[in-house]
Amino acid sequence: MVPQRTLNNTIRCSGIGLHSGKKIQLVLHPADVNTGIAFTRSDLNISIPAHADFVIDTRLCTTIGKDGVSISTVEHLLSALSGLGIDNAHIEVNGAEVPVMDGSAAPFVFLIQCAGIREQNESKKVIRILNRVEVSDGDKRCALYPASGFKVSYLLDYDHPLLKNRSVSIDFSHQAYTREVSRARTFGFLHEIEALQKSGLALGGSLENAIVLDQYRVMNDGGLRYEDECVRHKILDTVGDLSLAGLPIVGAFEGARTGHQMNHSLVTALLADTSAWRIEDLSPVENPTQTVLSGQVFAQQM
């Protein structure tokens, strides 16, 4: 049996909300088997499951909501939880956003590792992709198709000298989420950020929590963490968005020029086509690093 996982201890932190610019308190709790990932607005005492059925907005970030209450920018934390193979967790925030931290998933990975990871006495369930599911819009497209383990391939193609026709493929059966993906920061263009802030959005955005590009170059003093950091951040986002299927996916994702909206559309299309997938216990054959509990390899259950 490949066991489910939760946190070993409760852990907390605080940070700035990317869009509101307000300080947000974040608390991560262990959770019982088969409960999945759920968020609670502690200021309003409203709980929202981390599931595609509760996605209410995908502009700029992924936002979940219920009964008129929302929590935005959930994708980076969800990516970290998925990347470390966490099946069950309860997350509290005292505002309408998950804090952006440094714009990557690395601070959340650190928090999870500090809390510790505990195996649970219940087999891990996964969604196995049986048939290809695809969504497209012009030259934007993404798909899930059958494969062993979990693989993500992404093509980034912006009209910018550093972001033109750049692609990365990660096979998480062999490549570490923490090393290859988690440190990749969100990115934006200077003129777009200025326009957003004038409209009252991205008020917490800065060179401390995002890669900012002008017309030709990266403006951050430290440069990039990876040569292809922006593409890897798209993969980071994708891992988080796909986790909203409700269970880990066994299969491969390929995307080109897509974002949160199309990721959500793909998950929705997948769940609607019950012939394209099945839920099953994860086979130990597809779990090559069962003994690793440090979170150094993505989804050891994969």
CA-based angle 204:210:213, to the nearest 5? 120
CATH number of the domain encompassing residue 162: 3.30.1700.10
144 and 240 belong to one structural domain: yes
User: Is the pLDDT score of 73 beyond 90?
Assistant: yes
pLDDT band at 203 (very low <50, low <70, confident <90, very high): confident
Residues 46 and 81 both lie in one domain: yes
Mean pLDDT on 109-117: 98
Q: Which of 214, 212, 194 is nearest to 203 (CA)?
A: 194
My answer on whether 110 and 136 are in the same domain is no
* pLDDT higher than threshold 50 for residue 94: yes
- Per-residue pLDDT at 63 exceeds 90: yes
User: 150 and 99, same structural domain?
Assistant: no
Distances (CA, A) of 82 to 126, 149, 246: 12, 14, 11
pLDDT at 297 over 70: no
Is the same domain home to 228 and 141?
yes
Cβ–Cβ < 8 Å for 177, 302: no
- Percent above pLDDT 90 for the chain: 84
Instruction: Examine the domain organization and report whether 154 and 52 are in the same domain.
Output: no
Both 119 and 173 in one domain: the answer is no
User: Which residues, 6+ apart, have CB-to-CB distance to 55 below 8 Å?
Assistant: 62, 63, 64, 244, 264
Task: Find the mean pLDDT for residues 269-289.
Answer: 86
Q: Are 82 and 140 part of one and the same domain?
A: no
Same-domain pairing of 213 and 280: yes
pLDDT in tens, 129-174: 999 999 999 999 999 999 999 999 999 999 898 899 999 999 998 8
255-256-261-264 Cα dihedral, nearest 10 degrees: -10
Domain-terminating residue out of 123, 157, 178: 123
Q: Is residue 298 part of a domain?
A: no
Q: What is the pTM of this model?
A: 0.93
Tally of domains within the chain? 2
Question: Does residue 295 belong to any structural domain of this protein?
Answer: no
Whether 300 is covered by a domain: the verdict is: no
Residues 142 and 70 in one domain: no
Domain residues for the domain of 30 are 3-123
Residue 224 domain flag = yes
Last residue of a domain, one of 64, 98, 123: 123
Largest CA distance in the chain: 53
CATH number at 82 reads 3.30.230.20
pLDDT-derived band of residue 287, with 50, 70 and 90 as boundaries?
low
User: Does 299 fall in a domain?
Assistant: no
In angstroms, the first-to-last Cα distance of the chain is 13
Amino acid at 122: E
Confidence label for 111 from pLDDT (cuts 50, 70 and 90): very high
Residue 301: the pLDDT is: 34
Q: Which residues contact 22 (CB under 8 A, 6 or more apart)?
A: 16, 95, 97, 204
Mean pLDDT of 183-193: 92
Interval 272-289 mean pLDDT: 85
Catalytic residue numbers, as ranges: 260
Both 140 and 266 in one domain: the answer is yes
Is residue 245 assigned to a domain?
Answer: yes
Residue 102 and residue 149 in one domain: no
pLDDT grade for 97, boundaries at 50, 70 and 90: very high
